[in-house]
Chain A
Amino acid sequence: MIMQMNNLRPLTIAVSIIPLLWIVFDIAFDNLGPNQMQALHIRLGDWALRFLWITLAITPVQTVTKWRGMTEYRQLFGLFAFFYASLHILVYLAVDQVFAWRMIGIDILESSYIWFGLIAYMIVFSLGITSSKASKKLLGKSWKKLHRFIYIAAGAAMIHYFWQLKGNLAEPLFYLLLIFMLLGFRAVIWIKNKQLSQMMIPKGRTSTDTEAD
């Protein structure tokens, strides 16, 4: 099984790059519509969000399928979320605002939806740069704590999405439903584990923390 999964790695990377190639293609052939800048923000933001959601889907999928060796893919998808989020911000700074720092400052200060985007990005950034095995070893126990912040990033990204819309909520509601399912799955596991451990432990003692991540 592990062998098979390893073989899938180059393919996974190639597939994850396709959205970027698709965007580049649309830029080259002027397919982004009349408001190309906004289209670009939406496309890159959407992919950052999707990869974040895929990352969060790995643990439930692993639990259900009992596949091993998916942790590596969780890291890979997380890095792609980081990658698309970075492009999202880079396009905002360099292509949309063209580094007009005063205007950027006012825009960020006055746009609360951007604050949530920034929170999400700062988290994804920290997780991205500490995703290697070496930093996992180095950080020890705090690594897991740090990487639990992914849930905050997901929440902030969701608000960032909702908060800029005028009223068309169909698409963000879809993503919201997905994240509820992904987190709901974890909640169910967590409750089950708790019940299980309580049954195992003699009365009078408190259970240890055995939640799923």
Chain B
Amino acid sequence: MIIKTIKNIPGSEITDPLVFQQRRTLIKAMAAMMLTGTSIRSGWADDSKPIWSAVSKSPFSAPELTVTPAAAAKNYNNYYEFAFNKEDPASLAQSLRIDPWSVEIGGEVEKPGTYQLEDILSRHTLQEYIYRFRCVEAWSMVVPWVGFSLGDLLKTAKPLSNAKFVKLTSVQQPDTMPKQHTKAMLDWPYIEGLRIDEAMHPLTILAVGMYGDILPKQNGAPLRLVVPWKYGFKSIKAVVKIELLKRPPISSWNKFAPNEYGFYANVNPDVPHPRWSQNSERLLGSGFFTPRRQTELFNGYGEQVAHLYHDMDLRHFF
């Protein structure tokens, strides 16, 4: 009879946390080096230099957009796991543990598995995507994200033909996330979903950085979704799990208030939220006496994505 016991790892084999940490930093530096082509020496010489300042711009980066000041993007965050206001996540999120980080890919795929973030990064080319970001609360920003195509990542797991939807799950870390700890408001962890064609669309990215640097924790570090033609709440932060499904997942806000937050959540000036208009938006960084901006259908990405919804009643599928 075989009795399985837990094998004690001798102390000598346990990696010293400091060494472990250094190794991570090294891997990150190497990943950054491979991606940007800068030498490791220059990368280390100046710590303050944004590590991804030299990545190439995605063709989807609209050249006419004026980027919102980084300070606004970093200090005005909806991150309900930390706080219900937009000021506190910038400080509260700093306690989030993001290293090491792995992402589980499963469901209707040929090759399910769990991948270390470093491994994912080493296999994908990072680019800068300057996108409009429109919140359901009628404010917007223009953010230069650094990331890679979600579709490319999904392809590596080889989706099966019956995979029709993608479910993304955010991290569950109640000891660092106060609102998860008190089980406040939404059903944690945060869940979002996309139709498979939306997920495979080249505009849909997973971001690891913004403004040329590593993503701040309050903005969804270390890995977040960005779907520029949908309201901001679709762009789930701190992703730990990606599942391909036959049926649509129920997303967190949709579950909380189904008549207010739909599964699609496409930016649409003609479909108001039940309690407020979506016709215009306040562009952050625009000063006093600057009129609000007219909101565009699909947040201005209609040319690229309108065909995904050509036979759908967007009032019904909001």
Residues on the B chain within 8 Å of A13, using CB? none
Residue A164 CB within 8 A of the other chain:
yes
Chain A contact residues: over half helix, strand or loop, or mixed? helix
Residue A166 CB within 8 A of the other chain:
yes
Known: A35-B282, A35-B284, A97-B291. A110 touches B84 (CB 8 A): no
Known: A103-B292, A113-B275, A164-B275. A38 touches B280 (CB 8 A): no
Residues on the A chain within 8 Å of B110, using CB? none
* B247-261 Cβ-contact flags toward A at 8 Å (1 or 0): 000000000110000
Select the residue from A34, A96, A106, A110 with max chain B CB neighbours within 10 A: A34
Minimum CB–CB distance for B251 against chain A, Å:
14
Bound state CA distance, A112 and B274, in angstroms?
A: 8
Query: B290 near A33 (CB under 8 angstroms)?
Result: no
Residue B75 CB within 8 A of the other chain:
yes
Query: B139 near A35 (CB under 8 angstroms)?
Result: yes
Bound state CA distance, A110 and B80, in angstroms?
A: 26
Residue A1 CB within 8 A of the other chain:
no
Residues on the A chain within 8 Å of B54, using CB? none
Q: Which residue of A lies closest to B73 (CB)?
A: A34
Interface residues on chain A, size class: 20 to 34
Select the residue from B76, B80, B85, B291 with max chain A CB neighbours within 10 A: B291
Which 9 pairs show the lowest CB-CB distances between chains A and B?
Answer: A168-B84, A110-B277, A34-B72, A34-B76, A110-B272, A111-B276, A98-B291, A106-B279, A107-B277
Query: A97 near B292 (CB under 8 angstroms)?
Result: yes
Query: A109 near B277 (CB under 8 angstroms)?
Result: yes
Residues on the A chain within 8 Å of B85, using CB? 168
Minimum CB–CB distance for B76 against chain A, Å:
4
Known: A98-B289, A107-B280. A38 touches B275 (CB 8 A): no
8 other A-B residue contacts (CB within 8 Å) besides A34-B76, A103-B280, A164-B275: A33-B87, A34-B75, A35-B86, A35-B139, A103-B291, A111-B275, A167-B80, A167-B185
Minimum CB–CB distance for A89 against chain B, Å:
16
27 interchain pairs, CB-CB under 8 A: A27-B288, A34-B73, A34-B76, A34-B284, A35-B76, A35-B139, A37-B282, A38-B139, A96-B282, A97-B291, A98-B291, A103-B280, A103-B291, A103-B294, A106-B280, A107-B277, A110-B272, A110-B276, A111-B272, A112-B274, A113-B275, A113-B276, A163-B275, A167-B84, A167-B185, A167-B257, A168-B84
Known: A34-B72, A98-B289, A100-B291. A164 touches B87 (CB 8 A): no
Residue B137 CB within 8 A of the other chain:
yes
* A12-44 Cβ-contact flags toward B at 8 Å (1 or 0): 000000000000000100000111111000000
Bound state CA distance, A109 and B277, in angstroms?
A: 8
Q: Which residue of B lies closest to A96 (CB)?
A: B292
Bound state CA distance, A109 and B73, in angstroms?
A: 30
Minimum CB–CB distance for A35 against chain B, Å:
6
Query: A170 near B84 (CB under 8 angstroms)?
Result: yes
